Amino acid sequence: MLFIIFVILTPIAVWLILHFVSRQKDAGEIQSKAPMEVCALCQNEFLMSELLEKEVGGYGRVYCFCGQCIENLYHEYQKQTSIETGE
Ligand SMILES: [Zn+2]
């Protein structure tokens, strides 16, 4: 009887331990593998979800731009065009 309990419980216990360890490992990998990229303009690191990817030039080179830099460019452009048109 004790042998039967041992035979049944041992694989369950091993499976539970492996399951728990692999889940911990997965969580750690997800955290460390969060895709980070450097903004082409300010050189700060951001999560990929916070960056805009744009193909620049004819070589298929992809650059990433952060929201703050895009906003700065927009304001800079607005300032320049308003000076040129005299508004
Ligand atoms: Zn930036």
Ligand 1 centroid, distance to 29 Cα (angstroms): 26
* Confidence at residue 5, expressed as pLDDT on a 0 to 100 scale: 66
**pTM (two decimals):** 0.56
CA distance 51 to 56: 15
Q: Calculate how far, in angstroms, residue 43's C-alpha sits from the geometric centre of ligand 1.
A: 6
Res 43 pLDDT > 90: yes
User: What separation in Å is there between the alpha carbon of 74 and the centre of ligand 1?
Assistant: 13
C-alpha 12 to ligand 1 mean position (Å): 51
**47-62 b/e with 16+ CB inside 10 Å = b?**
eeeebeeeeeeeeeee
> Residue 1: what pLDDT?
78
